[in-house]
Structure 1
Amino acid sequence: MNAIQINEAAQALYRVHGGRAEAEAAAKVRENEQRGAAEEAENWRAIQAAIRQVRGPLQS
């Protein structure tokens, strides 16, 4: 995934899940790691990081 796709996915996930978006992305990381899909897991890690930026620093 490129940076634009990652950012778009993060924003979409945040719109749908709100404060749970980061946890949803973390679950996808774990699922993909368990399946042995390293590249997909890495994409989800990047999405998770982008969600932190979308969410902003004041919301934990």
Structure 2
Amino acid sequence: MDAIKATEIAHALYRAHGGKAEAEAAQRERQSRDDGNEREAENWRAIRGSIRQMRGANQS
């Protein structure tokens, strides 16, 4: 999956789930890995990274 597609999916997931979008992507990544679909898990990892970038750095 290219970076543009991952970003598009990340935006859609963030609009749908708000602050829980990253957790949703992580859950889908784990499920894909458990199902033996490593390529899909990698896609979800990229989407999760895009969500993390959208949210910005953690505040302390």
What is the TM-score when the length of structure 2 is the normalising length? Answer: 0.92
Name 2:43's counterpart in structure 1. 43
Structure 1: which 4+ aligned runs deviate by more than 4 Å?
A: none
1:6-45 superposed matches below 5 A? 6-45=6-45
SS at 1:36 equivalent: coil
Number of equivalent positions: 59
Per the TM alignment, residue 55 of structure 1 is displaced from its structure 2 partner at its CA by 1.1
The share of aligned pairs that are identical, in percent, is 58
Q: Which structure 2 residue ranges, 5 or more long, are not aligned? A: none
SS at 1:54 equivalent: helix
User: 1:12 and 1:57 mapped to 2: Cα distance?
Assistant: 20
SS at 2:57 equivalent: coil
Amino acid at match of 1:49: G
Per the TM alignment, residue 58 of structure 1 is displaced from its structure 2 partner at its CA by 4.0
Q: Which structure 1 residue ranges, 5 or more long, are not aligned? A: none
Name 2:4's counterpart in structure 1. 4
